[in-house]
Amino acid sequence: MSIITFDHPLAPLPAKKRIALVAHDAKKREMCDWAQKHKAIFAQHILYATGTTGKYLETATGLPVTKCLSGPLGGDQQIGAMIVEEKIDLLFFFWDPLTSQPHDPDVKALLRIAALYEIPIACNRASAEFIVSSELMGKTYARRVEG
């Protein structure tokens, strides 16, 4: 078994987080309601999202959201690339476990990259609540590096 190592240490997650928000169709309303509830927290950070989710979030919160493509059109892959480039610090991905997704390999790749790069991930509202209520939300956090 080989261990993946990084050629460089991962940068600490900054106090002002760059947050990616992704939601499958059946979870978009839930994500928008949850983001509206935490609008004051999100206003302190920088938001990114896949295309349609980003449009809905901007409408729901009034906050600026940098939008990638829609997930099935490559948006999940764009978010994954931003994680690898250390441009995303948190991932909130409200995925629908009951609906088959045509871009399921992209979803799995995004979650794998987020885990590999030590990005906190919330896949449902409960885990998202725990993350946004954490004292670490507004603090710098040093990630652990394998190797």
**Residue written as tokens 């906050």?**
63
Catalytic choice (76, 89, 96, 106)? 76
Strand partners, 66: 48
Longest dimension (CA), the chain: 48
Cα–Cα dist 101/70, whole Å: 13
Rounded CA-CA distance 94/27 in Å is 6
Distance of alpha carbon 26 from alpha carbon 111, whole angstroms: 19
33 counts as catalytic: no
> Which residues are tagged catalytic?
76
